[in-house]
Amino acid sequence: MPLALKKPSVVTIHDHTSITMPGRHRLKTIVSYNLFIGRSLERASRIACVSRAVADETVRGFAVDRAKIEIVPNGVDRFFSPGGEEGDYILFAGTLEPRKGVDDLIDAWRSLGTPRPRLVLCGGRGWGVKIPDDVEVTGYVTRERLRELYRGAIAFVYPSRYEGFGIPPLEAMACGAPVIATRVGAIPEYAGDAALLIERDQLRDTLIRLLRDRGLRNELRARGPERAKLYGWERSARLMMELLECV
């Protein structure tokens, strides 16, 4: 919040990773966030957190009164929907940075031996991750191309080490991709039994299991879109409007 602002206000918190995981951020991000977030939370009339996990961190880390907090989850819009045929690639989507666990995915993929599905990393090149030449990197793609990639993935893998929310697994579920994701942030809150939730050391075994079991993939392809319908942006917008109106 601007330090001179004296009007009623709502602060939205997506995560506190610059504090909890400073080694996963650049210095300018750490400085800009850490210097101002405590004061902003203290002065805010209400606080919107994107997940219960973030709300708990906010209470623990800043002694915020939980009564000030409302859970306003992120969502997925109707554009992301099932369709198309299963392809021959494992997909990741997100910025290629250390926090996302891309190196864990590359290691697990390499351990599969050959032949193996292609590994496609969809997202901008961030920092701190070395990508081997035999891994495909799309860079930034349009929404249309992203939806196509989600729909065709034999498995969507999101091995993040921390998330406040984690939108890509939700988008992948909405498109019918079988999802493997680490049990972090809001992912367990919205995924339920529509994704395979793992600890980091379970990635390789779970990936092998999913690749070998077409029945399991089909089951996840059916569950994902139904589960994702509970997290439309319309619901998020309504919750935020109700919060703003009461300030």
The answer on pLDDT for 35 being more than 90 is no
Predicted confidence (pLDDT) per residue in 132-181, tens digit: 999 999 999 999 999 999 999 999 999 998 888 999 999 999 999 999 99
DSSP per-residue codes, 156-167: EEE--S--SS-H
> Between β-strands 89-93 and 118-122, what pairing exists: parallel, antiparallel or unpaired?
parallel
Confidence category of residue 197, pLDDT binned at 50, 70, 90: very high
The CATH number of domain 89-230, selected from 2.40.50.140, 3.40.50.2000, 3.40.50.720, 2.60.120.200: 3.40.50.2000
Hey, where are the domains in the chain?
A: 10-75+235-245, 89-230
Q: Within 10 Å of residue 83's Cβ, how many Cβ atoms?
A: 11
**153, 165 in Cβ contact below 8 A?**
no
